[in-house]
Amino acid sequence: MKPFEKRESWKSRTGFIFAALGSAVGLGSIWRFPYVVGQNGGAAFILLYLIFLALIGFPILIAEILVGRTAQLSPFGAFKKIGKNKFWGLSGKLVIFTGFIISSFYSVIAGWMLGYLIEAIFGHLSFSGSAQALEHFDKLSSSAFWSIGFHFLFMALSILILFFGVRKGIEQKSKIMMPLLIVVVIILVIKGVTLPSASKGLKFLLSPRWDLVTPAGILIALGQAFFTLSLGQGTMVTYGSYLSKKEDIPKSCFPVVLLNTLISILVGIAIFTIVFSQDLQPAVGPSLIFETLPLVFTKMKLGYVLSIFFFLLVTLAALTSEISALEPFISYLIDEKGWKRKKASIFTGCLAFLIGVPSALSFGLLKRFTLFGLNFFDFVSFLSVNILVPLGGFLIVVLVSYIWGIKKAFEHLKVSKEAFFHHRPWVAMYFKVCLKYISPILIILILLNILGFF
Ligand code: PHE
């Protein structure tokens, strides 16, 4: 199981923070978060989401990073080393598989974003009404050439970054892309809140409406807290495996959770102040980004520039997430098969591209092809995001809490006298209760709900 090449590592703590933040901030936080907040009670939903972040998101993030950092191996090797038997090796393979499948269809949607960025640059996104915006989106997303083309291009970009490895690839590029992303978010927020009817958008997003909080909405908040931190699919275990043994894990993870939440809320503010400024209703799902927003930009002063900024923002966010979904499999090939990084990256990229093709065709050629009543894209995304991701989270929680043992695991967090875990028994207690009891119970609830038990 010995790595054949010297294992790569992050150059600095900031590098790790930007890379992990890049993974967290993605389509989930930028595209999905704002409208689930709007639909499920505004600030009331945000409060629930924050509670779940504290109870399961943050503790599981720490658990994943800790497993990777201690083993210094891909999720397969790490699970096997800590779990000490075949079952845990297999579980490690399962989480790698989950990340890999996510990368295949994530690239399809991200490809649409890239495609729309190009459309915006060429000035093709100016519409007379919503029917025309919808028609344009349908035409593009059902075109095999367009969707496979941009899926390919996006995958190629991701592989190009991964090709250069942990420091020169993931870390260095995240350190450029994430600050750029933050600048774009700030520009859009400033534009949004200075629009005449900004208060309507702010109210939609931020006023607490407890009457809109439903049991289903609570589970959405729970799932969101999980997906947004890229948990349950090997990503954070792998990113943790590149972290130095001296690093104080809670101190490096806290900014990731905080900034990810802040960015999601700011993007929500930008989107809704902009949408409401034109007296449009925020739609849900793909139509918010691909129909409503282009239409709003058409009507706005400086809309051309804003639309370019907006699609640049989403594309950057998706890119830093995509690479993090591909990396676990690449690190597996390097650690276990002794492959060189370049070969492993190209192989992973080609395979993920091919597996993503039926997803790219699910809105056109393969529209009528269904599995369990879902088109291919919906099927793989449902299977991975709703079932495999919580399952992966459950496995990691059991591994750390019951197989490794909280006490032993936490010893590895006390890296120095100044470490966050030293002399703070209440912190250890809090993480222990969250990981041992609260997380497994909540994850089982998510799974039972998805399987239709409630
Ligand atoms: N955290 C990402 C988001 O919110 C989703 C993601 C999950 C990305 C898994 C990579 C891997 O969009």
Query: 71-83, pLDDT tens digit by residue?
Result: 999 999 999 999 9
| Ligand 1 centroid from CA 399, angstroms | 22
Q: Best-predicted range by mean pLDDT among 267-281, 336-350, 355-369?
A: 336-350
Residue 339 in domain: yes
CA dihedral 70, 73, 79, 81 (to 10 degrees): -70
Return mean pLDDT, the chain: 92
Q: What is the C-alpha separation between 55 and 438, in angstroms, rounded?
A: 7
Q: Terminal CA-to-CA distance of the chain, rounded, Å?
A: 44
* H or E element, residue 375: strand 374-375
Q: What is the pLDDT of residue 249?
A: 94
Does the CB atom of residue 29 touch ligand 1 within 6 A? yes
pLDDT at 2 over 60: no
User: In terms of C-beta density within 10 A (0-12 exposed, 13-18 middle, 19 or more buried), how is residue 328 classed?
Assistant: buried
3-state percent breakdown (helix, strand, coil) of the chain, nearest 5: 80, 0, 20
CA separation, residue 347 to residues 41, 74, 118, 142, 357 (Å):
44, 17, 27, 27, 16
Q: Is 260 in the pocket of ligand 1 (CB under 6 A)?
A: no
Look at the chain and report how many structural domains it folds into.
1
Residue 251 in any domain: the answer is: yes
pTM of the full predicted structure? 0.94
- 272 in Cβ contact with 202 (< 8 Å): yes
State the pLDDT at residue 9.
Answer: 94
394-412 b/e (C-beta count within 10 Å ≥ 16 → b): bbbbbbbbebbebeebbee
Q: Decide whether any atom of ligand 1 lies within 6 Å of the 232 Cβ.
A: no
DSSP 8-class letter at 7: P
Where is average pLDDT lowest: 174-178, 412-416, 444-448, 450-454?
A: 450-454
Q: Is 307 in the pocket of ligand 1 (CB under 6 A)?
A: no
What phi and psi values does residue 197 have, to the nearest 5 degrees?
-105, 40
In this predicted structure, the answer to whether residue 308 has a pLDDT above a threshold of 80 is yes
- Does 359 fall in a domain? yes
Say if CB 435 and CB 63 are below 8 A apart.
yes
Residues belonging to the chain: 454
**Residue 3: inside a domain:** no
Q: Is residue 4 part of a domain?
A: no
Q: Which domain holds residue 270?
A: 13-450
| Contact 230 CB / ligand 1 (< 6 Å) | yes
CB of 325 closer than 6 A to ligand 1? Answer: yes
Instruction: Quickly state the pLDDT bin for 5 (edges 50, 70, 90).
Output: low
- Residue 174 in any domain: the answer is yes
CATH of the domain at 190: 1.20.1740
pLDDT of residue 230: 96
pLDDT at 138 over 60: yes
What phi-psi label fits residue 375: left (phi over 0), alpha (psi between -120 and 50 degrees) or beta?
A: beta
**Residue with the nearest Cα to atom 11 of ligand 1?**
325
* Ligand 1 contact via 223 beta carbon (within 6 Å): no
**Would you say residue 3 has pLDDT above 60?**
no
Q: Is 26 a domain residue?
A: yes
Determine contact, residues 28/235, Cβ cutoff 8 Å: no
Among 96, 102, 230, 256, name the best residue to mutate to test ligand 1's pocket (greatest count of ligand atoms within 8 A of Cβ).
230
Region 420-438 average pLDDT:
88
Q: Is residue 368 part of a domain?
A: yes
Top mean pLDDT of 20-34, 340-354, 355-369, 373-387 is at: 340-354
Rounded to the nearest angstrom, the distance between the alpha carbon of 229 and the centre of ligand 1 is: 7
Cβ of 27 below 6 Å from ligand 1: yes
